[in-house]
Structure formats: structure tokens, C-alpha cells
């Protein structure tokens, strides 16, 4: 059964980009389509693919690769202030820090109340 599950996952990973290219689906990225296909084939929906050690290792490597490639696409120049150019809004780093602090404060208040 392990080999069949691995075969199904590999065929899905091969077929999904081909189908998307054939029907010219460009509204969603291929990685998202493959994640949705994995959810459909996995135990969350159809339960066709049974998890095993090999698939768990492949999924971990896939998540690591996805995070690495996402990090490579970040343009860090957007986080730097350009001299002589006045911005109307705050820096994204400052806004993210404030949002994080607000979430932590709200969680602490809710924890104390409960």
C-alpha cells in the first residue's frame, strides 16, 4: 500500500502542472493547486492516500522547499527607507511589530479574564 500511495502522489505532482498548462489556468499558482490536490487525495477528504514514513518525509521536504523559495522571492529593498523620499505610511516592519504586540496584549488580557 505504501508504494501505491507514493505512486498516486507522484502522478498527481506530475499531472497537475500539465493540466494547468493545458487549460491555461493562471489564476492560482501550481504549488497551491498541488496543495489543494493533496488535501483532496489525503485523509481530510477522499482518504485515497494513506500517510507513511516516506510521504511524511517528502511532505516535510516540500514544506522546507516551499518556505525557502518563498523567502527567495522577498524583495528586502521594500523594507528600507529611501533617503529624501517621504512616505505617507509607516514602515511595514513597524506595522508588523505593532500588530504582533497588539495580538500578544489581547491574548494576555483574554487569558487573565478567562
Are residues 90 and 66 part of one domain? no
pLDDT in tens, 53-79: 998 999 899 899 989 988 888 887 777
Q: Which domain holds residue 93?
A: 81-113
CA angle, corner 68, sides to 66 and 71, nearest 5? Answer: 110
Element (H, E) at 58: helix 53-72
Are residues 48 and 19 part of one domain? yes
Taking 50 as the pLDDT cut, the residues of the chain under it are: none
Q: What is the C-alpha to C-alpha distance for residues 2 and 58, in angstroms, rounded to an integer?
A: 13
Are residues 34 and 58 part of one domain? yes
pLDDT value for 86: 65
pLDDT value for 85: 64
pLDDT value for 101: 96
Number of neighbouring beta carbons within 10 Å of residue 16: 19
Are residues 87 and 31 part of one domain? no
pLDDT value for 77: 79
**Grid coordinates of 59:** 511532505
Are residues 86 and 44 part of one domain? no
pLDDT value for 73: 85
Amino acid at each position: 500500500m505504501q508504494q501505491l500511495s507514493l505512486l498516486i502522489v507522484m502522478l498527481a505532482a506530475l499531472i497537475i502542472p500539465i493540466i494547468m498548462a493545458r487549460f491555461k489556468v493562471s489564476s492560482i499558482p501550481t504549488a497551491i493547486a498541488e496543495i489543494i490536490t493533496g488535501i483532496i487525495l489525503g485523509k481530510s477528504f477522499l482518504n485515497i492516500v494513506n500517510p507513511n514514513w516516506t510521504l511524511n518525509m517528502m511532505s516535510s521536504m516540500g514544506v522546507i522547499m516551499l518556505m525557502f523559495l518563498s523567502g527567495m522571492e522577498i524583495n528586502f529593498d521594500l523594507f528600507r527607507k529611501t533617503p529624501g523620499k517621504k512616505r505617507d505610511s509607516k514602515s511595514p516592519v513597524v506595522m508588523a511589530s505593532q500588530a504582533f504586540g497588539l495580538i500578544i496584549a489581547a491574548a494576555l488580557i483574554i487569558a487573565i479574564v478567562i
